[in-house]
Amino acid sequence: MILVLDPHFDSVPHQRVEQGAILGYAGIARGESITPGQLNDAYQKIVASGLFESVEIEPRGGTLVITVKEYPTINRISIEGNRRLKDDALIATVQSKERFVYSPNQAERDAAEIANQYNASGRVAARVTPKIIRRSSLVISALRILPMPPQMELSVPKMIRSAPTSRTPAST
């Protein structure tokens, strides 16, 4: 059993999330005795919040040291390797926003959306990968497009479907 007398927090590099909120995610209260299993559950809950790039929980006597590193703020969103579609049109489809906190899950969804845009334009072999370029506490969220060389690209013909015609029985 671990007795949590004095939770202590370290946040690297900036702290947007309040300490009380972190304890709330962990489900730990001051003065509470917890088992190693409960400590593991607390860790998993903090990670599952999706707010932190890294989480460490270390019991030190009666003190529980919780160290979190928050995801950085997006300074700019950049499209790299795009030659077929307009960057502005692609950026308009992404859900990540400048001056908001970076989310790796959202970056993956943004990359999938851009890949769908390329697929819809007939570039089915293009791959899109998210990456971050760190600049202190701000990042550039870059979505890198890796198109296949033109000789290897597959051409997908568009299907043209005509409207069904309605036939009425001939009058007699």
Residue 8 pLDDT grade (very low, low, confident, very high; cuts 50, 70, 90): low
Domains of the chain: 2-70 (3.10.20.310), 73-152 (3.10.20.310)
Instruction: Quote the pLDDT of residue 83.
Output: 80
- The first and second tokens of residue 147, run together, are 């198109």
Name the pTM for this structure: 0.65
The residue ranking higher by pLDDT, 44 or 87, is 44
Give the residue-averaged pLDDT of 50-56. Answer: 89
| Residue whose entry in the numeric block shows the structure tokens 């692609």 | 90
Q: Residues 73-120: pLDDT tens digits? A: 888 888 888 888 888 888 898 999 888 888 889 999 999 999 898 888
Give the residue-averaged pLDDT of 29-50. Answer: 88
3-state secondary structure string across 80-138: ECCCCCCHHHHHHHCCCCCCCECCHHHHHHHHHHHHHHHHHCCCCCCEEEEEEEEECCE
**Rounded to 5°, angle at Cα 73 from 70 and 78:** 135
Question: Residue 42 burial (CB < 10 Å; 0-12/13-18/19+)?
Answer: buried
